[in-house]
Structure 1
Amino acid sequence: MNLEELLGIELPIIQAPMAGVQGSALAAAVSGAGGLGSIPCAMLGPDGIRKEVEIVRAATSRPFNVNFFCHVEAPPDEAADAAWRELLSPYCRELGMAETQAPAGAARVPFNAAAADVLEALRPPVVSFHFGLPAPDLLARVRRCGARILASATTVAEALWLQERGVDAIIAQGWEAGGHRGHFLSTDLTEQPGTFALVPQVVRAVRVPVIAAGGIADAAGVAAARALGAAGVQVGTAYLLCPEATTSSVHRAALKEPRRVHTAVTNVFTGRPARGIVNRIVRELGPLNPQAPAFPRAAGPLAPLRAAAEKQGSGEFSPLWSGQNASGCREVPAAQLTRELAGVPAR
């Protein structure tokens, strides 16, 4: 069974779930065009998940994906949090702020029983996971919903681990990819190869379809991934300038600048390695800072600093997520971009 048949889609294009820069509008546009749109749910509670799914279903009858994180929550560490706030304090003083505190609000939470309850009621056609898989009992509940299950792997070992646990397809996330690294078996980043080294190795190692992710920005990249055995591709960065994305003005401006080609894997924004455009805080505190609190606690104290800077039109303290290849970023409708990625002639 090919990827299109497996997921019920027309085009082998999956829009990467990108929390913070997209919602249901982008997912609905991609699904409506024949690809697989994705709703990022890691920062949504049950009501938020329900609302986003309802919006997509009102916009299109085609399949869509809901995505969750599966990280292990780290125990509280007041000392580490205090040290992080102290490290950020000079920037706060520069912007005329008091010492930053973690705000109340959305947090990145791993897939849990409450999310499983919502999925049992909504029965989405596709569910994907990042940072591994949920506990076996929770995964069984998702499977009983009838959903196809996708998950990310950054190494062959992770791909084999996922196959052993019955996923329907594996997203091979290469080193070039923007946003959070999906690793879960090892924290050694040197073990994670680039997309076009990883994909053929995973294809040879597993029996399920493999979806290439990372550095793919146009139809030529899609064709190259498929020539290496990928059943389809997952694309994120190229969608960031689409009107349906909620990408902030400072993020959009950065993607249009020549420096967009300069990205780094950094932990300063959330405490977990993720690729984004290098800005001031990445240069001065990173890219990888051992003082960053465990994921996702680093993000809380940084949020007020980010908000204050963005009010002044600055993205120097913002997570400007981007893969290494931002050349495909264009201000075109997401449906048009999806068809172009698949090599479908313009209508």
Structure 2
Amino acid sequence: MVLKSRSLMYCPVPKVATKTLLNFMLYMHVNDIIDNLEHNWTNIDAGRAQVEKRINIGSYVHELRQHGIAIPKTEEPKSLAAFLRMYLNALRFGSINETHSSRSLNPWRLSFTFAFPYLRLRGLHNLADIFSPSFTRAIFVRHPFERLASAYKERIATLKKDRIQPEPEYDAIRDAICRKRMWSRRIQKPLLKKDSCKGSVPSFEDFVRYILIGTHTSTGITRMDYHWQPYSSICQACKFKYNFIGKYEMFNDHFNSLREIANLSDWNIEKRNGPSGLTTYDYQKFYSELPDDLICQLIRLYDQDFRLFKYRVDDYINRPTLLENCNQLKTL
């Protein structure tokens, strides 16, 4: 995601305060749209802007309401500009104003988010611009093992009935893990009923075994779900040479630094989206019973992430002879 007006590029990595950071970037993007609509039409792609004239604002208001944003009938916007200003408040505060409380907004669940590209500021003419000294190339990272455990907890170990919104792709992964486990135990096909895996939550070990399939090749890694794909792959860390690296473990401090760089002083730092509430100790427990061979394969998978962003394996794994065992197992 690139905002030329702020000389800022950000690579979103799932499970690293991504909702907060994407809201932050989208807020600046929509703010730029409003500013240019009102003051500088030469920066707007006029051809695509014609599509905006056909936008059904009422349907977008309805969608916001469906996602928990309270919008009284008397405060419905009558124009695109008014709607965008209301949307800015929803991004910034999680509600349209201080009077009406709402739940946290995930803009990427809203279909109208993808309508905004029809009215977009002109893009970069030269991709090389992002490598100029004036450009900030930002990424936020998290300990690879904590990010993986968090993805398991929220995407795999949380059943459909306990989610705010459906995620059929992860229901399918959970089902696939279950069926693979059952087949590995040599349960014959006639015994595998259609709903035999319904409501089943795979263990963390079964999940790890599943995601490691095919990761011995670079092609296999690039095909991984982005919730557990390594940063070095999903964000091409070596290619883009990020000059702003924020860490989840110091999020408030590093996010404030990014706000200063982006010259956005009016963001609501107290409004952070989607923290799980689990502690480091909670995540460490997921690894306590994993066999050495799986941990070694995970170390190999996330090796560049550990090296590039200076994370330590022993922050999560308390096994003094582990690295020696990894060498013996030839998995590093």
Fold conserved (TM > 0.5)? no
More helix by share: 2
Q: TM-score range by the shorter chain?
A: under 0.3
Structure 1-normalised TM-score? Answer: 0.23
Q: Which has the higher contact order (CA 8 A, sep 6+)?
A: 2
More strand by share: 1
